[in-house]
Amino acid sequence: MDTSSLSTSINKGFLMSLILVVGIGAINFGYSIGVFNSMQDDFIVVFGYYFKSPEYKKDILKWVTTSCTVGFAVGALFSAPFMKFGKKNCIIFTNIFVIIGCSLCMIKQIEVVFVGRFLFGVGGGAFSVFVPSFINEVTPVELKGPFGSATQILVNFGIMISNFFGIPFPSCESEFTCFKINPFDDSFIQTGYWRILFALPIGFSLI
């Protein structure tokens, strides 16, 4: 069978647009991986742990990170059976998880943040299953090679976005101890910007 005629009949522009929209889930997955790295120093100050011991600060940061990682594992391991309801429906439902998780992360209560990060992780883990499967399903055989790497590219793009938006945060000379951040500073960057970073995936999910 001559596949050259098939290649010419495919609207590659539409296919790329479709993959980019579906791939927003992969962007959210990458974003969830990197978003907390840039705000850790500020998080310690805003949540009132600045004067705690270095060990206590490390434990808090580890729990915030681990809660999301555990969510990744749960989402990736247990999402596949739900694909029988349709990958499109699964992606839409997963976005609801992300929206709820990010909304909880914006509440200044550490236990609520743990839950929000876990739900955000569940969404990210589910996206790691649904998005590449959906892209593989809609991409013609002759284009699976070039389009097959879209998920990895978009995940890394999400990590890049999270680091880019983390640039305004002040840095710390010595991890957990020598903060350049003023714990009594009431500027928006220190007291409110962390919510912007946690809320950004909500916009992606709504798209």
Q: What is the pLDDT of residues 153-204, one digit of tens each?
A: 999 999 999 999 988 887 654 444 444 556 556 778 888 899 999 999 999 9
The whole-number pLDDT of residue 172 equals 57
pLDDT digits (tens, 9 = 90+) for 154-164: 999 999 999 99
The whole-number pLDDT of residue 1 equals 44
Burial grade of 106 (CB within 10 A; 0-12, 13-18, 19 or more): middle
Beta bridge partners of 178: 174
For the chain, state the CA radius of gyration: 20
pLDDT digits (tens, 9 = 90+) for 56-76: 989 999 999 999 999 999 999
The whole-number pLDDT of residue 105 equals 95
Can you tell me the distance from the alpha carbon of 40 to that of 42, in angstroms, rounded to the nearest whole number? 5
Mean pLDDT calculated for residue range 30-54: 88
Can you tell me the distance from the alpha carbon of 34 to that of 158, in angstroms, rounded to the nearest whole number? 8
Mean pLDDT calculated for residue range 13-41: 89
Q: What share of the chain is helix, strand, coil (3-state, %, to 5)?
A: 75, 0, 20
For tokens 């990197």, what's the residue? 34
Structural domains of the chain, ranges and CATH numbers in brackets: 12-206 (1.20.1250.20)
The whole-number pLDDT of residue 2 equals 47
Name the average pLDDT for the chain: 85
Burial grade of 74 (CB within 10 A; 0-12, 13-18, 19 or more): middle
The whole-number pLDDT of residue 178 equals 43
Does residue 95 contact residue 25 with C-beta atoms inside 8 Å?
yes
Residue type, 172: C
> What is the dihedral angle through the alpha carbons of 163, 165, 170, 173, rounded to the nearest 10 degrees?
0
